[in-house]
Amino acid sequence: MGKPFVVTDEWLKRVKAQVDGTEYGSIVITVHDGRIVQIERSERKRYDTPQASNALQSRRK
C-alpha cells in the first residue's frame, strides 16, 4: 500500500494558480512517495474568429 497522501496549503495554491489561468488545456500533477513533486500545464489557444467561421461555412455550402 502507498504512503498517505498529504497536500499542503502551498500546493493547493500552486494547483489553483495553474487551473485559474487555463481556458483550454490540461494540468498534470506528478506524485512521488505520497507527495506532489511537479505540476505540468499544457494549454491550447483557440483562434476562432467570426470571419474564419463564416468562410468555413460558405465553403461547405
Q: What pLDDT score was predicted for residue 30?
A: 94
11-47 per-position pLDDT tens digit? 899 999 999 988 889 999 999 888 889 999 999 887 8
DSSP single-letter state for residue 4:
P
Whether the predicted pLDDT of 55 surpasses 70: no
The proportion of the chain whose per-residue pLDDT surpasses 70, expressed as a percent, equals 80
3-state secondary structure of 25: strand
